[in-house]
């Protein structure tokens, strides 16, 4: 006697759920694409902000450098005005690069004729 056992299986996937995995995958990809789009727009905005702050830093450093140069020129001018000889002083006691009767300028900035 031979008995056969037959296993009954339900059709896979059930008839009402056919194609649902494909739709779920498609929706997940759309959500992922929207999220990545937002992430890339934030990345672009942060790169722009970084470049702008770098330019602001460079311009601030340049302005500080110019202000320091102006300040040092004013200090040098005050030193030179204090070093102008009074009547009766010998010209040899002048700081290097200065002469009597001319505008007090350092020798390195004079132009030759």
Residue partners of 8: CB distance under 8 A and separation at least 6: none
Tokens of 22: 């494909």
Using a 10 angstrom Cβ sphere, with 0-12 exposed, 13-18 middle and 19 or more buried, the burial of residue 109 is exposed
Task: Encode pLDDT of 42-85 as tens digits.
Answer: 999 999 999 999 999 999 999 999 999 999 998 888 888 887 76
Q: Supply the pLDDT for residue 79.
A: 85
pTM greater than the 0.75 cutoff:
no
Reported as a pLDDT band with limits 50, 70 and 90, residue 113 is very low
**CA dihedral in degrees (40, 41, 46, 47; nearest 10)?**
70
Domain extents in the chain:
23-80
């Amino acid at each position: 006697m031979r008995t056969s056992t037959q296993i009954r299986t339900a059709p896979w996937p059930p008839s009402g759920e056919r194609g649902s995995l494909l739709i779920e995958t498609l929706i997940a990809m759309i959500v992922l694409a929207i999220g990545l789009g937002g992430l890339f727009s934030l990345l672009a905005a942060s790169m722009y902000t970084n470049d702008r702050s770098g330019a602001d830093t460079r311009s601030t450093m340049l302005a500080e450098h110019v202000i320091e140069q102006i300040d040092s020129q004013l200090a040098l001018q005050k030193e030179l005005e204090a070093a102008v000889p009074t009547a009766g002083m010998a010209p040899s006691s002048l700081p290097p690069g200065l002469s009597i009767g001319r505008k007090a300028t350092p020798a390195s900035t004079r132009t030759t004729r």
